């Protein structure tokens, strides 16, 4: 697979090569994208109609609002978002400019803007940004106002935007994305698992047979990208290991974590190839779309792209919730929306008011992301479960996403700091890819699982000690 057809290609290049439509190809380039339909077009068939809500800001606004966010994996979201934001700006007297960049570039851009003390007023990332707490505004007022309007924020988002040690909301988190397993039904049928694997053991035995008999590998990354980060955590939790305890004490070096690393090493040897050590965030998507992978841990974005780029594969892709391990069945949220307002922001009032407007209209974000974006405030998308039962973007197997209904998905999803919060230390561990590196060293035979876990814990303890000395992390060890 090291010479697979997607090797070295960008997401845009792959979609062009695969014959995707212009709306799917033009990621973040809204001028050429065909406009996504409004939720109003299908709402009567799937629930209450969705209209754009507008609340007058609490104070008069003016000036510029500069927004930076990722180029969404479902490009129709960006086709909707940009005019939505500019339209709000026109109503309140603010000139809104929007920049989309690859998600992998956002942490570096944040760091450079903070160092320079200038840049965007409002920044969105798809992963926790707790490590930037000292350099951003406390968004407690935004979170409390959103809760006042829409009810309680789900815990998975609250624990990845609030530092309980300091009481600071370093980010505002209005949405999240579940992380199911995506599997090729026709392949798993041939090994006696037509509904896909339900446990990590079934993933290993079924994936091994598919690779040996059918020549199709699995795609679970162990590289420096978001999907590898989430896979490492899901496996570790399911085996009973964790980065920290609920009080923010480091607990990484445990027999349970070692067992999880040993399992990942077997999974790699029996079901995958070296390519997984160099993947980027789009690689498993591209492999699945090309029909070259039997199973990946991802959101629904790869399948959505395949619906246009490779419909035969899309029809064959189904989903399973978090796999059961010896201890539990848990997955990290695939994407967690953290919006931050840096202290250098020139228009923080407009940034905060826009976040509330965006949250008031999160049903549009959900719909235009083709059900990728889930809300942090359930009441903002009352149609969600109806849409999942009767997918408005599918013509076959329209109930394929029904297993992912809001309350059900929350049962097997958790935040990256589980069983504690996503503190500044957790954010740095995530951003420096400590856990996928830990998995990779053992899988490649560079260290034993015990050695790799011990090295990872030493690195984690240094990170925790640094932030604990600044009063930003709880715990004692």
Here the tokens at position 277 are 């050590």
Q: Over the stretch 407-426, which tens digit does the pLDDT of each residue have? A: 999 999 999 999 999 999 99
Q: E strands along 187-326, which residues?
A: 217-219, 293-297, 317-320
Please give the mean pLDDT across all residues of the chain.
Answer: 89
18-177+334-413 and 181-333+420-469 share one fold: yes
Residue 358 backbone class (left: φ over 0; alpha: ψ -120 to 50; beta: rest): alpha
Tens digit of pLDDT for each residue in 263-320? 999 999 999 999 999 998 889 989 999 999 999 998 898 999 999 899 999 999 999 9
Tell me the residue ranges of DSSP E strands in 51-148. 64-70, 95-101, 122-125
| Correct CATH for 181-333+420-469 of 3.90.1330.10, 3.40.190.10, 3.30.479.10, 3.65.10.10 | 3.40.190.10
pLDDT of residue 14: 33
- The pLDDT-based confidence of 50 (bands split at 50, 70, 90) is low
Cβ atoms of 238 and 330 within 8 Å: the answer is yes
Distance of alpha carbon 363 from the chain centroid: 18
Does the reported pTM lie above 0.75? yes
Q: What is the pLDDT of residues 114-130, one digit of tens each?
A: 999 999 999 999 988 88
Q: What is the pLDDT of residues 197-241, one digit of tens each?
A: 999 999 999 999 999 999 999 999 999 998 999 999 999 999 999
Give 18-177+334-413's CATH code, choosing from 3.40.190.10, 1.10.8.60, 3.30.930.10, 3.90.79.10. Answer: 3.40.190.10
If DSSP codes are grouped into helix, strand and coil, which group holds residue 68? strand
Domain ranges of the chain: 18-177+334-413, 181-333+420-469
């Amino acid at each position: 697979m090291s010479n697979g057809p997607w090797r070295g290609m960008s997401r845009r290049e792959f979609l062009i090569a695969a014959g995707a439509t212009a709306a799917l190809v033009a990621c973040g380039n809204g001028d050429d994208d065909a406009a996504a339909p409004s939720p109003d077009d299908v709402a009567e068939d799937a629930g209450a109609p969705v209209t754009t809500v507008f609340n007058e800001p609490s104070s008069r606004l003016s000036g510029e609002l500069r927004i930076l966010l990722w180029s969404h994996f479902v490009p129709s979201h960006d086709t909707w978002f940009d005019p939505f934001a500019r339209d709000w700006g026109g109503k309140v007297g603010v000139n809104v400019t929007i920049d989309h960049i690859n998600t992998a570039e956002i942490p570096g851009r944040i760091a450079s803007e903070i160092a320079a003390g200038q840049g965007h007023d409002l920044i969105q990332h798809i992963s926790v940004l707790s490590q930037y707490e000292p350099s951003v505004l406390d968004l407690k007022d935004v979170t409390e106002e959103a809760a006042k309007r829409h009810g309680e924020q789900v815990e998975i988002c609250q624990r990845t935007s609030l530092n309980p040690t300091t009481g600071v909301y370093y980010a505002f988190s209005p949405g999240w994305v579940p992380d199911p397993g995506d599997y090729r039904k026709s392949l798993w049928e041939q090994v006696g698992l037509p509904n896909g694997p339900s446990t990590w053991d079934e993933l290993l035995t079924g994936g091994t047979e598919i690779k040996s008999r059918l020549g199709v590998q699995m795609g679970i990354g162990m590289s420096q990208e978001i999907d590898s980060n989430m896979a490492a955590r899901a496996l570790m939790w399911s085996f009973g290991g964790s980065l920290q305890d609920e009080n923010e004490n480091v607990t990484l070096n445990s027999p349970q974590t070692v067992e999880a690393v040993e399992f990942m090493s077997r999974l790699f040897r029996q079901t995958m190839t070296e390519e997984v050590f160099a993947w980027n965030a789009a690689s498993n998507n591209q492999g699945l779309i090309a029909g070259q992978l039997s199973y990946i841990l991802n959101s629904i974005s790869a399948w959505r792209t395949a619906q246009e780029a490779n419909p035969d594969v899309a029809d064959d892709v189904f989903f399973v919730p978090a796999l059961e391990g010896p201890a539990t069945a848990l997955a990290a949220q695939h994407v967690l929306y953290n919006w931050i307002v840096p202290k250098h922001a020139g228009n923080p009032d407009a940034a905060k008011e826009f976040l509330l407007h965006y949250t008031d209209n999160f049903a549009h974000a959900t719909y235009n992301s083709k059900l990728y974006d889930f809300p942090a405030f359930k009441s903002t998308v009352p149609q969600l479960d109806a849409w999942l039962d009767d997918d408005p973007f599918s013509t076959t197997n329209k109930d394929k996403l029904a297993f992912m209904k809001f309350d059900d998905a929350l049962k097997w999803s958790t935040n990256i700091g589980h069983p504690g919060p996503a503190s500044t230390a957790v954010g740095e561990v995530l951003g420096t890819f400590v856990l996928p590196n830990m998995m990779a060293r053992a899988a490649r035979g560079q260290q034993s699982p015990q050695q790799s876990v011990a090295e990872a814990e030493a690195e984690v303890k240094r990170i925790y000690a640094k932030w604990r000395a600044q009063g930003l992390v709880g715990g004692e060890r």
